[in-house]
């Protein structure tokens, strides 16, 4: 239950809306009980009065009461659903934002051990499951308790022993059945949450890796494992359905016992009235209606197992401490950046070998540096350390004369632009995809940057309103790279980090991209990671890495003259 406390705190932001939803739910339940109770008494009293009592029996007030409670029940139910769901959606909105805001500082180190499908399932499905906490647990329990107290006090006006008997049966039902079925359904709820996450993770992996699975003949085996998980998931759902049916049956049994008790006790007299007549029907129908109001209570705690399991799964991620802690002091963004690395060593968790081993490097402001090497030699790790995705285990990184750890996150992000190897295109307009880099940029600035990087064709048709991504226009590899460069230019940071900007491109497009980079980033400090040799002669300096170390350093002509590793790379072309 402790796992729910952080999420219950979010409810305080909408406590008035949530309280109003509970009040409307209580009004609806009381109106429903009043309608059935009054209707039963009214029909019985009318039958007892008969034709002889046509003029002595007051038909108008009970009829008005029946209409009033019917209208109150209908209106209460409508507004209760409206208010409760609106408040729940607002809570989920803040919960999603809160969860995502806690995930951002963890990326990438804290999230590396989670697969994409598993992480997506926790952030989406598990967060959505938490809406059961209010709609199916808190609201029904509070409403049932208030109904029990109100019905008991109301019936005490007519007969105290009968009222206390009905109230006692209802209170015992409320206190005993929910915990009982919670214990019975806890393991099933946890299994449902776990199996749902496992199945969606396996499905995501199967969809993403179909080509590889088919090539290596593993598709059928992987599909069989996924179907086994699905069958286990269905079995857990079956067990929960059985528990739900059992809880409803037990509630009906207790309700039937309560009705018989009311019938037996009321028939012996109600208060001082030894001939209760229609009052017998009043107590009987009140018991029937009251137990209908209690019906959701037994099922409420069955969902609590899923809610707690989902809360634990989310907490396992969000309560991690970020490996990188930023200072809160904001400084001015430097106009130019010189990068200094001194004896920088770094190793990933669980890896015996260092990804970077004693790297010392100086990059003067405004210089263009290319980092060359085989896959896995530490090139991308070097870029990630410059963005503080991780901190080095040893050594120090400085921008100009300031240690990197002294930069606030906002200042560091404004000082660095990154052109990643994988360019993310969001399902949104062209304008929205560009505004990610500069939210305050005008349409004229966006159009100018697109023309600068050679994407003026995208301005045809709907222009900046053109929909990109899923369901919209798909961009080619070269267009994606140019869009990434456009974002970097809009961000306008003094330090540009390029991670394999020409990966997967043909020779012509690669030359165009490199020429574009040389033209639009001439006044910025540029560090480009690559394992391709085209265009490197135009860089001020080339660094060759291997096994996490710098093994060669110099310009194109100097490295060719040494006839070392760079020369060997060139000879293989």
Q: What angle do CA 233, 234, 240 make, to 5 degrees?
A: 95
Strand order in the sheet with 394-399: 356-363, 339-346, 394-399, 402-403
- pLDDT value of position 164: 92
> Above 60 in pLDDT, residue 51?
no
Global pTM value? 0.70
Domains in the chain with CATH codes: 2-318 (1.20.1560.10), 339-425+489-571 (3.40.50.300), 429-474 (no CATH)
**3-class SS at 269?**
coil
| Spatial separation of the C-alpha atoms in residues 409 and 496, rounded to whole Å | 17
Query: 111 is written with which tokens?
Result: 């999230």
Which position has the higher pLDDT, 352 or 28?
28
Predicted confidence band of residue 53 (pLDDT cuts 50, 70, 90)? low
pLDDT in tens, 322-343: 778 888 777 788 888 889 989 9
pLDDT in tens, 534-557: 778 888 898 888 888 888 888 888
> Above 70 in pLDDT, residue 364?
yes
| Spatial separation of the C-alpha atoms in residues 195 and 236, rounded to whole Å | 9
- Percentage of the chain exceeding pLDDT 90: 5
Dihedral sign, CA of 421, 426, 431, 436? negative
Q: For the chain, what's the residue count?
A: 573
| Spatial separation of the C-alpha atoms in residues 429 and 431, rounded to whole Å | 5
**What average pLDDT does the segment 402-424 reach?**
86
Mean pLDDT rounded to a whole number for the chain: 83
**What average pLDDT does the segment 360-388 reach?**
87
Q: Which residues contact 534 (CB under 8 A, 6 or more apart)?
A: 502, 507, 510, 511, 514
Predicted confidence band of residue 354 (pLDDT cuts 50, 70, 90)? confident
pLDDT in tens, 462-477: 888 888 876 556 777 7
Predicted confidence band of residue 215 (pLDDT cuts 50, 70, 90)? confident
Query: 153 is written with which tokens?
Result: 């006090």
Pairing state of beta strands 402-403 and 394-399?
A: antiparallel
Pairing state of beta strands 495-499 and 416-419?
A: parallel
**3-class SS at 411?**
helix
- pLDDT value of position 78: 92
Predicted confidence band of residue 223 (pLDDT cuts 50, 70, 90)? confident
**3-class SS at 268?**
coil
**3-class SS at 255?**
helix
53 φ, ψ to 5°? -95, 20
């Amino acid at each position: 239950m402790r796992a729910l406390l952080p999420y219950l705190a979010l409810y305080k932001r909408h406590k008035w809306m949530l309280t109003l939803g509970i009040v409307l739910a209580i009004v609806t339940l009381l109106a429903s009980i009043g309608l059935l109770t009054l209707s039963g008494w009214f029909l019985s009293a009318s039958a007892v009065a008969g034709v002889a009592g046509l003029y002595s029996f007051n038909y108008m007030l009970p009829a008005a009461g029946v209409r009033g409670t019917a209208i109150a029940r209908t209106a209460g139910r409508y507004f209760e659903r409206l208010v409760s769901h609106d408040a729940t959606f607002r809570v989920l909105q803040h919960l999603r934002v809160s969860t995502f805001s806690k995930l951002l500082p963890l990326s990438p180190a804290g999230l590396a051990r989670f697969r994409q499908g598993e992480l997506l399932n926790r952030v989406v499905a598990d967060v959505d499951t938490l809406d059961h906490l209010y709609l199916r647990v808190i609201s029904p329990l509070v409403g049932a308790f208030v109904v029990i107290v109100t019905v008991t006090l109301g019936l005490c006006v007519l007969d105290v022993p009968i009222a206390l008997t009905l109230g006692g049966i209802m209170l015992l039902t409320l206190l005993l059945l929910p915990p009982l079925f919670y214990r019975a359904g806890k393991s099933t709820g946890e299994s449902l949450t776990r199996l749902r996450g496992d199945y969606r993770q396996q499905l995501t992996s199967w969809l993403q890796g179909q080509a590889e699975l088919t090539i290596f003949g593993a598709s059928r085996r992987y599909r069989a494992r996924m179907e086994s998980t699905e069958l286990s998931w269905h079995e857990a759902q079956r067990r929960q359905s059985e528990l739900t049916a059992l809880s409803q049956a037990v509630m009906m049994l207790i309700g039937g016992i309560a009705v018989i008790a009311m019938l037996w006790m009321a028939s012996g007299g109600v208060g001082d009235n030894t001939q209760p007549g229609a009052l017998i029907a009043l107590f009987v129908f009140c018991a029937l209606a009251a137990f209908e109001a209690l019906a959701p209570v037994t099922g409420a705690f069955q969902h609590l197992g899923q809610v707690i399991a989902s809360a634990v799964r989310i907490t396992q991620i969000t309560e991690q401490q970020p490996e990188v802690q930023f200072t809160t002091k904001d400084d001015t963004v430097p106009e130019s950046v010189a990068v200094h690395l001194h004896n920088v060593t770094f190793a990933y968790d669980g890896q015996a070998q260092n990804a970077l081993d004693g790297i010392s490097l100086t990059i003067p402001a405004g210089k263009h540096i290319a980092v060359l090497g085989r896959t896995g030699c530490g090139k991308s790790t070097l870029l990630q350390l410059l963005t503080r995705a991780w901190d080095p285990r040893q050594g120090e990184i400085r921008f100009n004369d300031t240690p990197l750890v002294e930069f606030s996150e906002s200042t560091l992000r404004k000082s660095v632009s990154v052109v990643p190897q994988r360019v993310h295109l969001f399902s949104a307009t062209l304008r929205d995809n560009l505004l990610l880099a500069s939210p305050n940029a005008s349409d004229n600035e966006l159009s100018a940057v697109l023309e600068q990087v050679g994407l003026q064709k995208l301005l045809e048709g709907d222009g900046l309103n053109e929909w990109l991504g899923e369901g919209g226009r798909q961009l080619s590899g070269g267009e994606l790279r140019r869009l990434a460069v456009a974002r970097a230019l809009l961000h306008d940071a003094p330090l540009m980090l390029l991670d394999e900007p020409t990966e997967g491109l043909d020779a012509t497009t690669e030359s165009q991209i490199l020429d574009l980079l040389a033209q639009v980033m001439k006044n910025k400090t540029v560090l480009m990671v690559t394992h391709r040799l085209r265009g490197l002669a135009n860089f001020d300096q080339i660094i060759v890495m291997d096994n996490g170390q710098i093994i060669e350093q110099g310009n194109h002509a100097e490295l060719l003259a040494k006839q070392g590793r760079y020369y060997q790379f060139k000879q293989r072309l």
